[in-house]
Amino acid sequence: AQSVTQLDSQVPVFEEAPVELRCNYSSSVSVYLFWYVQYPNQGLQLLLKYLSGSTLVKGINGFEAEFNKSQTSFHLRKPSVHISDTAEYFCAVRPPSAGGTSYGKLTFGQGTILTVHP
């Protein structure tokens, strides 16, 4: 079984400042890692994912995340945020599919609300 902990429920930040949203996970097997963003009144949109290879992954809208296996973390960063980045961000994990009914069950964290102030 997997679990995901997002350490901050709310992160306020000023426009053009850097931001880091923290995510730690627990799993007895290797996992894929994801960050999703949810803008108000919308569904979830994939920001970026780590499947394998380079531990630094870049996503859309200038976000990046670094996978740290020893610390079981996958923190999300952006060097300079915009007002339009105000949204809720979800970290998620799932084991690699292995055939059969392994459809890719995602386990989500509780979410972090990022509020960017002018």
Using CB under 8 A, list all residues that contact other proteins.
Answer: 4, 9, 32, 36, 41-46, 49, 51, 90, 96-111
Which is nearer to other proteins, 43 or 118 (by Cβ)?
43
- Distance in Å, CB of 66 to other proteins, minimum: 19
**Where do the H-state alpha helices sit in 2-75?**
none
- Distance in Å, CB of 79 to other proteins, minimum: 26
Which is nearer to other proteins, 32 or 86 (by Cβ)?
32
**Where do the H-state alpha helices sit in 9-118?**
none
Contact yes or no for 54/69 (Cβ under 8 A): no
- Distance in Å, CB of 77 to other proteins, minimum: 22
Of 111, 114, 117, 95, which is closest to residue 36 (Cα–Cα)? 111
Which is nearer to other proteins, 5 or 15 (by Cβ)?
5
Which is nearer to other proteins, 17 or 51 (by Cβ)?
51
- Distance in Å, CB of 58 to other proteins, minimum: 16
C-alpha separations of 87 from 39, 40, 92, 100, 108 in Å = 5, 7, 16, 36, 16
Neighbours of 81 (CB within 10 A): 23
